[in-house]
Amino acid sequence: MEEAIQSRNPIDIDLGPNWDEIYSGICLKTNNEIFILMNFNEELNQYNGFSIFRTQDIQQYRLWEKEEITSIKKDNHKTLLNRYPWEKWNSIYDCLNHLSNTELVAIFTKEDTHSYFVGRIDHINPTSLSLEPIDKNAKWVKTRTIPLESIIYVGFDTEYEKQLLSKSKRSV
Domains of the chain in start order, with CATH, are: 1-87 (2.30.30.100), 91-172 (2.30.30.100)
Express each pLDDT in 111-135 by its tens digit. Answer: 877 789 999 999 999 999 999 999 9
| Percent of the chain's residues with pLDDT above 90 | 58
- Residues β-bridged to residue 117: 107
pLDDT of residue 130: 97
pLDDT of residue 18: 61
DSSP SS3 for 81: helix
Q: Look at residues 97, 93, 172, 92 and name the one whose alpha carbon lies nearest to residue 133.
A: 172
Express each pLDDT in 61-118 by its tens digit. Answer: 888 888 888 888 888 988 898 899 999 999 999 999 999 988 899 999 988 777 899 9
Express each pLDDT in 9-60 by its tens digit. Answer: 898 898 866 666 789 999 999 999 999 999 999 888 899 999 999 998 888 8
Alpha-helix runs per DSSP H in the chain: 2-7, 66-70, 77-81, 92-99, 159-168
Contact by Cβ (8 Å): 102, 85: no
